[in-house]
Structure 1
Amino acid sequence: MNLALFFDFSGEAEYFPDSQKFSHFNYFVSIMVMIKKNVMMILLALILFNGCSIRKMALTGFTSTLSSQTGDVFTSDDDPELIGDALPFTIKLYESLARKDSTNAELLLATGKLFCLYAQGYVLFEADTLADSLKTAKKAAGKRAKKLFLRGKDYILKGLDLRHPGIYDALSGGSSDSALSITGIDDTAYLYWGSVAWTGAILSDRSDLALAMSLKKAVSLMQKVFYLDSSFSDGAVYEFMAIYYASAPKALGGDVEKSKEFFKKAIDLSDGTKASPYVNRASVLSLKLSDSDGFSDFLQRAISIKTPSQSPLRLLNTIYQQKAAWMLANKERFFPAEQTIQ
């Protein structure tokens, strides 16, 4: 199952003021800082002070720190398995704090993004490598990913609702155009990740026809980001829309030529430093066009990227390069006719 729409998780974090190049893994660093500097202080405060106002003050300070710490400890790591092992604990920590500090929009956004990361990077990616004969396992993984994406979507859109009261219900029931008309440039991270989570849920379980009917709304959030800031997150929006244009039928806006154009723009905006646009170009458009040579070429280009050891793209690129290597090693699964000829 190809869910490349969400493969780029380097969207700018709204909860990191003035951040221009935030990668989704950066907020893991706050866990490390929190463990070293904040946990004992918060626990001690909760033990010593019984007053509700004191506890709330401590919790608010804690979650604010958790939502604003940055760093490259995780993003510059080249061990996806290590990060994957840490994710379940991280998710539950964020989720428990979000429930306690439910008016913290930035924390809700961060929590939602973690669900997206885990669903795509550690549920669907692994399911993609299962043998085609394991249909039951693939289907189960898709349904699990759908639940994770929907939980992420809920947190993200509730965060947006704190900024624009009523928009959560408006997006759920009414016209997305009228709901989105009140959003602005400061809402781009919420709109981007809301679209990622929503679309991810739809494509994870294509048997859910009721959910599929909301695809237009899900994509409209990304289209609003494109209108507000088309260069958001170094080409992430172009990459998303390129995949949409390649995947959607013409009746819903599908356009192969526009997809080619947008993939090129995504690569240009990232200065060729991201592996994801190349992998997604191969796994979506090259397959659609039955372009075997292009498939191999784009995957090789992804693998050839040399990421500096301290780069915040190191972990993300490692994940995509591993996927590219697997796709090349299993090319016959994508182009079975070539295997027959040989």
Structure 2
Amino acid sequence: MGRLRKIAFLLPFFAFSGCSFKTLALHSTAELLDVGVAAYYDESDTQLAKDSMASQLKFVEGLLRNEPTNERLNLLAAQGFGSYAFLFIEDVEPERAKPLYLRGRDYALRSLAGRPALANPAALTPDELDQALGQAAKADAPALFWGAFCWAAFINLSKGSADALAQLPKAVSFMKRAQALDPQYNFAGADLFFGTYFASRPRMLGGDPEKAKTHFLWAKRITSGKYLMTYVLEAKTLAVALQDRALFDSLLAKVREGQAGALPGARLADEVAKLKAAALKEKADDLF
């Protein structure tokens, strides 16, 4: 009987230890994934990156099944799905990209678990959303950025949906707050967002080529003109909106002649930018 009591006494300890070891293992894996992500975005072989990214995303989702509220894993998933859809899927399979972007947005919202008011922004009024965003700190900037990026990208691919278009102001609010908190994040990603936003929309719906120029200029200043995707987005949106073929050609030439990987963590995006620039060049006669 005494031996049974000892075993019964120890069982909760082992159960607790098992739970703790599991949590510790997940946290350690998340830290390793952070390191792996940095190496991934410095990959020069775009096909290798594309092939490996899909399996890595499923791996992260598997980890999230065990710890769905892990903010770091949710952010990695948000960044991963947003990047995968933008870099590899959107241009060739836009319909497939749409649910990928939505998954990225949802993971970004989950990574804001410390900000419960932002968990369901679709249910908030504009004033309520502004109040909730005002409480966000700089540490929330990445989640706000990827939430806005994925949300807006989905909306951009759903132009025939009035419901989707009605959500755009909230995605814009997310990005405005992300920019205010950390304008340098993701190679001045917020400025690239707004440069594309103002260049792509008709004037009657808030489009403004001058504002677009300013945002692209700021993005180039922040990155010292070394982030090649900036020129691709400027050519694809602003140059086409202005019907300025000379600007279009000069921007794509900068991508073609630019050094991939001049900035840490930008090698993959730069290599993909070169591919996107070449594809845009082939479509030039249809765009002008």
Give the Cα–Cα distance (whole angstroms) in 2 for the partners of residues 309 and 164 of structure 1.
Answer: 36
- Decide whether the 8 Å contact of 1:76 with 1:310 is kept in 2: no
Gap change, CA 1:149 and 1:51, over 3 Å in 2: farther
Give the Cα–Cα distance (whole angstroms) in 1 for the partners of residues 210 and 136 of structure 2.
Answer: 30
TM-score, with structure 1 as normaliser: 0.74
User: Which residue in 2 is equivalent to 1:150?
Assistant: 102
Instruction: Please give the residue correspondences for 1:1-342 in structure 2 after superposition, counting only pairs within 5 Å.
Output: 52-69=15-32, 70=35, 72-125=38-91, 127=92, 141-160=93-112, 162-169=113-120, 171-175=121-125, 176-307=129-260, 311-335=264-288
Give the Cα–Cα distance (whole angstroms) in 2 for the partners of residues 309 and 150 of structure 1.
Answer: 31
> 176-185 vs 93-102, which deviates more?
176-185
Instruction: Summarize deviations over 1:158-186 as a string: whole Å, max 9, x none.
Output: 110x11123213x1211221221221222
Give the Cα–Cα distance (whole angstroms) in 2 for the partners of residues 274 and 301 of structure 1.
Answer: 10
Instruction: Kindly provide the amino acid, as one letter, of the partner of residue 108 in structure 2.
Output: I
Gap change, CA 1:98 and 1:320, over 3 Å in 2: same
Instruction: Summarize deviations over 1:143-167 as a string: whole Å, max 9, x none.
Output: 321111111111110110x111232
TM-score, with structure 2 as normaliser: 0.87
Computed over aligned residues only, the root mean square deviation of the Cα atoms, in angstroms, reads 2.1
Gap change, CA 1:76 and 1:299, over 3 Å in 2: same
Q: CA deviation at 1:109?
A: 0.9
Instruction: Summarize deviations over 1:114-155 as a string: whole Å, max 9, x none.
Output: 111222222113x1xxxxxxxxxxxxx333211111111111
Give the Cα–Cα distance (whole angstroms) in 2 for the partners of residues 251 and 59 of structure 1.
Answer: 55
> 271-280 vs 246-255, which deviates more?
246-255
Give secondary structure in 1 for the equivalent of 2:43: coil
Give the Cα–Cα distance (whole angstroms) in 1 for the partners of residues 138 and 40 of structure 2.
Answer: 28
User: Which residue in 1 is equivalent to 2:10?
Assistant: none
Give the Cα–Cα distance (whole angstroms) in 2 for the partners of residues 187 and 310 of structure 1.
Answer: 23
Who wins on radius of gyration, i.e. which is larger? Answer: 2
Q: CA deviation at 1:51?
A: 5.5
Percent identical pairs in the alignment equals 27
Q: CA deviation at 1:264?
A: 1.1
Give the Cα–Cα distance (whole angstroms) in 1 for the partners of residues 204 and 179 of structure 2.
Answer: 21
Q: How many residues align?
A: 270
- Decide whether the 8 Å contact of 1:142 with 1:205 is kept in 2: no
Q: CA deviation at 1:271?
A: 0.8
Give secondary structure in 1 for the equivalent of 2:111: helix
Give the Cα–Cα distance (whole angstroms) in 1 for the partners of residues 144 and 22 of structure 2.
Answer: 27
- Decide whether the 8 Å contact of 1:278 with 1:298 is kept in 2: yes
Give the Cα–Cα distance (whole angstroms) in 1 for the partners of residues 26 and 286 of structure 2.
Answer: 46
User: Which residue in 2 is equivalent to 1:35?
Assistant: none
Give secondary structure in 2 for the equivalent of 1:103: coil
Gaps of 5+ in 1: 1-49, 128-140, 336-342
- Decide whether the 8 Å contact of 2:227 with 2:263 is kept in 1: no
Instruction: Kindly provide the amino acid, as one letter, of the partner of residue 173 in structure 1.
Output: A
Give the Cα–Cα distance (whole angstroms) in 1 for the partners of residues 242 and 263 of structure 2.
Answer: 37
Gaps of 5+ in 2: 1-12
- Decide whether the 8 Å contact of 1:98 with 1:111 is kept in 2: no
